Amino acid sequence: MSMKSAALAALASAYRLNGLEAVPSIVRATKPEFGDLQCNDIMRLTKAAGKTTRELATSIAVAARNDVFDDVSVAGPGFVNFRLSDETIAAEATAMLRDPALGVEKEAPIRTVIDFGGPNVAKALHVGHLRSFVIGESLRRILAEIGHDVISDIHLGDWGLQMGKLLYGAATASGWQHGDPVPFIKLFSFDEMSVEELGMLYKSGNAATEDDTALAVARSLTNMLQDGHPILTAAWKRMREISVDAVSATAERLGAHFDLFLGESDAHSEVAPMLDDLVSRGLAHESDGALVIDISDEGLPENVPPLLLRKSDGAALYGTTDLATLRQRARDIGAQQIIYCTDDRQALHIGSVFSAARSAGYAHGIELRHVTFGTVRGWDGKPFKTRDGSAASLGDMIELALAKAAEKVKVEDSATAVGLGALKFADLSIPRKTGYVFDIDKMTSFEGRTGPYLQYAYARICSILDKAASAGIVPAAAVSVSHPLERAVLVECLWYPHSLSEAARQLEPFEIAERAYQVADTFSRFYADCAVLSGEDPPGRLATCKLVAQVIGKCLELLGMETVRRM
């Protein structure tokens, strides 16, 4: 039983004894000098109990006392505080030390699909994909850690008019000027082509199609591709392959794992039957020649427009393929929960798709959640750019972090882990809805709330344990409490299961980042004041060190960061 569960159980019993039917709640004590845990329920329960707040709080405190706590007391107008006994802390810490799951109780598995990709074919990954990849990967690990069956999908933007513009760019790059552009689109021209070079083709095609005549050609190419034209299909597959290879390489570098590499093209065959279904049931209707579905959902504006499913010219839109993809995930994957990890600018679009899915019955029994996040900014408050003023690519950001880490860490493998860790922790160490300024010097510092600080803390503990092993000193099998600072760091460790639970409930990796930092920071104070190998009980202190290393290591793993043993 966790320390939070023990306090909740004691409160539940005390509530029953005092005639209260409320469900108790517990939080960390705001002032450690008053205790470890705090109940703030009493003031709202006073009227029903027929007592003064202080009288009720005192009655609850008396009834909640047991051997788990050194003290249960009342502070202020009626806050009930619990101070765990050292014996309880030691016993719980020992159980955690011996448990590979670190005291985490697995939940009933939920088949969960996380969509945290969204890159487009022929476009290099940009700064926004950093947050999507880092937050999405951390959530994938967090949900898997509590027992869920998680499937991650990148959901490529690989269909629609943008592909027609790309094919138009490829034709003009091969010399086409008029007539049929298809013969000018040759597969060999894509040999050895990079995604950046593909991007140049798209930019030229996109610019050219501002002209109505050129746009009509791009639309024609799009339609022929979607009808299965063999030459255009072969060219599209090659360009998609180049893009997927580039995305895969960056994702692997960042440690982001995708089970599926599906895209909008994989939902194409779903669109027509889905629209027929919506029309036949009277859910989709025509409006000014277009096909739309009305939406209304909690959290959406009252005047939210209908979701456009098919334009008057017959073209489908992002919302159409997103709805078809959601339908596929429910039917073919058996998703019980679907999570979209995108920036907050897509909130209205995703909310509209969710509303349409619920109205259509495509999401029956499925929890749909949108994990939004803020933007990465430069010092000017605008989206982060490189020194020359151009938009920063994800590759630029990675190289910048690696170069800065290499200046500070001489062990090459460790420098790579530290650089990538700095990038990730800067992203995850703030609540995800908050944007942040990209400050490479701050994020790679070994002081303060940074990734390198945590990785160094872990490496330092490993060094202590290795030194002890060389001297033949083995950590004790049981944890003990011999100093107030040892007690403090053990309490921080014991909050790990709760932090994981909250991270999963809120879909908020910040909870794990904060737990890692609090454990590491408290350990630093413990290590500064309490001798480990030269103290009176090296095995006991080593047991504490071992548990701290396990908790920090697990937190880093859940954040997608590598542990480092040497720097």
Structure tokens at 423: 């990038």
- What is the spatial distance between Cα 401 and Cα 102, in angstroms, rounded to a whole number? 32
- What is the spatial distance between Cα 434 and Cα 192, in angstroms, rounded to a whole number? 40
Q: Average pLDDT of the chain?
A: 93
Exposure string of 246-284, with b = 16+ CB inside 10 Å and e = fewer, is bbeebbeebbbebebbbbbbbbbebbeebbeebbeeeeb
- At 389 the pLDDT is 63
Residue 322: pLDDT band with limits 50, 70, 90: very high
Question: Which residue in 143, 152, 127 sits closest to 435, CA to CA?
Answer: 127
In degrees to the nearest 10, what's the CA dihedral of 268, 271, 273, 277? 160
Q: What is the pLDDT of residues 403-420, one digit of tens each?
A: 999 999 988 889 999 999
- At 1 the pLDDT is 60
- What is the spatial distance between Cα 180 and Cα 171, in angstroms, rounded to a whole number? 10
**Superfamily of domain covering 3-84:** Arginyl tRNA synthetase N-terminal domain (3.30.1360.70)
Residue 386 has pLDDT above 80, yes or no: no
- What is the spatial distance between Cα 351 and Cα 330, in angstroms, rounded to a whole number? 17
Residue 74: pLDDT band with limits 50, 70, 90: very high
265-to-159, 226, 244 alpha-carbon distances in Å? 5, 9, 14
Q: What is the pLDDT of residues 133-176, one digit of tens each?
A: 999 999 999 999 999 999 999 999 999 999 999 999 999 999 99
State the span(s) of the chain assigned CATH 3.40.50.620: 113-157+259-377
Q: Estimate to the nearest angstrom the gap between the alpha carbon of 257 and the chain centroid.
A: 12
User: Under CATH, what is the fold of the domain 113-157+259-377?
Assistant: Rossmann fold (3.40.50)
Contact 363, 340 (CB under 8 A): no
DSSP per-residue string spanning 201-221: HHHHHHHHTTSHHHHHHHHHH
Lowest mean pLDDT among 42-56, 190-204, 347-361, 513-527: 42-56
Q: What is the pLDDT of residues 185-221, one digit of tens each?
A: 988 888 889 999 999 999 999 999 999 999 999 999 9
State the span(s) of the chain assigned CATH 3.30.1360.70: 3-84
- What is the spatial distance between Cα 237 and Cα 263, in angstroms, rounded to a whole number? 12
